[in-house]
Amino acid sequence: MMFIWIVFIGIAVISYLVQASLKSKFERYSKIPVAAGMTGREVAEKMLRDNGIYDVRVISTPGMLTDHYNPTNKTVNLSDDVYNTCSVAAAAVAAHECGHAVQHARAYAPLQMRSALVPVVQFSSSIVSWVLLAGIVLVNVFPQLLLIGICLFAMTTLFSFITLPVEIDASRRALVWLNTAGITNSASHKQAADALKSAAYTYVVAALGSLATLIYYVMIYMNRRE
């Protein structure tokens, strides 16, 4: 158990450092304009058109780093700073989210798998904490309850790991298009790649943290059964 707590602390420290680095880089790259002089909205709309996608809308959404693609209503949602700003960070984020729209249009398998898991993960997340808590309390009389909780949590862990190739591929598509479309030049392209790489690290840390938590609950289940 001591080892798993060391892992938890290590992941927490790494997560803090990754988040701090991501925030710092996006603040810095948000002040550097792209040579094309296009806002995030314009970048997104052009990438969609260049990929033959005309049924996806680009809209603004409140908040910071709230950018996402919604496959249900086919919208690329960009935070206000990204939507209205001409910067390396805005272009990178907008192109990344459009990368998900391209994945959707091309029936990218990992995205389809992640989308199929969304209802299951939403249900699991809504009850898993209570099931795990009750399972730990009642493990000696009803160990199956903790096992159910572990299975529910495993779905969220699986979702975290399936998310990794989805996010990495979206960034790859974004960077290739930014370069070929002439949105970025040699200097700003490296900055866009750096920003997206930092964002990808947050998903890696989240997946590892979820896996460590899953292992922790499995160890409780195995130790309490002995």
* 208, 11 contact by CB (below 8 A): yes
Strand 75-79 to strand 57-61: parallel, antiparallel, or no bridges (unpaired)?
A: parallel
- Dist. CA 41–CA 43, nearest whole Å: 5
Q: Which two tokens stand for residue 196?
A: 């997206």
Query: What DSSP state is assigned to residue 70?
Result: E
Q: In what order do the strands lie in the sheet with 68-70?
A: 57-61, 75-79, 68-70
Place of tokens 């209802």: 119
User: 33: part of which helix (H) or strand (E)?
Assistant: none
Strand 68-70 to strand 75-79: parallel, antiparallel, or no bridges (unpaired)?
A: antiparallel
Return the active site residues. Answer: 97
Give the CA dihedral 83, 46, 19, 124, nearest 10 degrees: 90
